[in-house]
């Protein structure tokens, strides 16, 4: 299942602003901090991110065309989850059909959600940065 780009634009303008208020603090939500490839501006994108150890699994419900994914691939970024900020390595995108062992580590509701997407983004978290909350990090890099 892939949602339309129109739904993605609506969420970017309306829904993300509301979710951004709590996503950095309330798992399974997370906020991805990334720098624009062309503009150089810093952006915050709230989304569902399921974490196991140092691995974060994100269902790509809008496909691989999402700006946050393209920006992370180009320049890395940060992940804020449960009030903790981590440096994120560039993501790997895999087919959901081939992610059986990875999905087996998730809870049944998390697996159900991830299986709704054709592809998954897998982020490996590096070190935890000091500070608490989303305002402590000025941006990736």
Q: What is the pLDDT of residues 36-54, one digit of tens each?
A: 998 999 999 999 999 999 9
Give the per-residue pLDDT at 12. Answer: 72
Q: What is the value of pTM for the model shown?
A: 0.82
CB 140 within 8 A of CB 78: yes
Token digits of residue 19: 């979710």
Which helix H or strand E contains 100, and what residues bound it?
helix 100-104
The range of the structural domain enclosing residue 113 comes to: 5-131
Domains in the chain, number = 1
Whether residue 76 lies inside any domain: the answer is: yes
Whether residue 63 lies inside any domain: the answer is: yes
CATH number reported for the structural domain that contains residue 57 in this entry: 2.30.110.10
d(CA 93, CA 14): 27
| Beta partners for residue 79, in sequence order | 32, 86
Whether residue 71 lies inside any domain: the answer is: yes
């Amino acid at each position: 299942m892939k949602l339309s780009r129109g739904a993605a634009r609506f969420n970017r303008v309306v829904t993300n602003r509301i979710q951004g208020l709590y996503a950095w603090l309330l798992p399974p939500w997370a906020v991805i901090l990334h720098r624009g490839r062309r503009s150089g501006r810093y952006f915050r994108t709230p989304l569902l991110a399921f974490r196991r150890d140092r691995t974060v699994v994100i269902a790509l419900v809008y496909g691989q065309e999402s700006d946050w994914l393209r920006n992370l691939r180009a320049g890395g970024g940060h992940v804020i989850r449960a009030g903790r900020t981590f440096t994120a390595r560039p993501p790997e995108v895999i087919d959901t059909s081939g992610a059986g062992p990875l999905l087996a580590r998730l809870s049944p509701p998390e697996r159900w959600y991830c299986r709704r997407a054709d592809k998954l983004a897998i982020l490996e978290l590096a070190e935890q940065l000091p500070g608490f909350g989303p305002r402590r990090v000025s941006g990736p890099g």
